[in-house]
Copies of this chain bind each other. A is one copy, B any other.
Amino acid sequence: MNVTAFNRRKEFGKTLASDITHRMRNEIVTCRLKPGEMLKFDTLRLSYGASFSTLREALTCLAAEGLVVAEEQRGFKVAPISLADLIDLTHARILIEVDLIRRSIENGNDDWEIGVISSIHRLGMIEGRAAEDYADNPDWKVAHREFHESLVGACGSPTLLGIRQSLFERAERYRNISARLRPRPRDKAGEHRALMKATVGRDADRARELIARHIQSTTDNVIKYASDLIGDG
């Protein structure tokens, strides 16, 4: 069978557009595409080897997630970061996550509980191997995301789960900034274990308290050390 221009590797999704969406999302949350940077089609066409329409579709997707902002007739740019945005985002995340973890604890069955246990175990294995600096280890990031997803996995609310996921992605850039700023490493592993224990122990009140603090603590760190680095507008 012929290999044509249309035939190419599609790592993430089935369509090229969804593949590019994934790749671009990754470059935005790792700040390889800088906050506020203009996204010109000519440049993007070179970087991603796709046409206008395909890139446009990817950008539209990311704009809906809040990682990109579209100004009509004036193109797209990477969503800027700011202290105000971080605070707003954190509030939204805590509101939703607290509700979801409570309902997950109420509804969760055996399979859910096993999922929580195994995902924290996997996370621990990666942390054990990579010793200290697992902050920008991609494997750790995946395991970390999956652990948090497992906690709320039994909430039974597709709508809020989708929103939660999108907010989690938006927070990734701030997590990266926070990790770099922090003078001494944070005991994330301990927080995760406590969270896991409260959750599988069905102690909803404690789990809610812990997850709220867990989310808030990244924000507090950025506020403490970076209030001048990123504008507050």
Q: Which residues of A contact B (CB under 8 A)?
A: 13-15, 18, 52-53, 56-57, 60-61, 64-66, 72-73, 85, 88-89, 91-92, 95-96, 99, 156-160, 162-163, 167
Partner of A159, one of B57, B61, B64, B167: B167
Partner of A92, one of B53, B163, B167: B163
Closest CB of chain B to A22's CB: distance in Å? 12
Residue contact B56 to A89, C-beta cutoff 8 Å:
no
Closest CB of chain B to A122's CB: distance in Å? 28
- The quantity of this chain's copies bound in the complex is 2
CA gap between A92 and B92 in the complex, in Å: 12
List 17 A–B pairs whose Cβ atoms lie within 8 Å, in order of A's numbering.
Answer: A15-B73, A52-B53, A57-B57, A60-B60, A64-B64, A66-B159, A85-B159, A88-B156, A89-B159, A91-B159, A92-B159, A92-B163, A95-B95, A95-B96, A95-B160, A159-B167, A163-B163
Residue contact A157 to B91, C-beta cutoff 8 Å:
yes
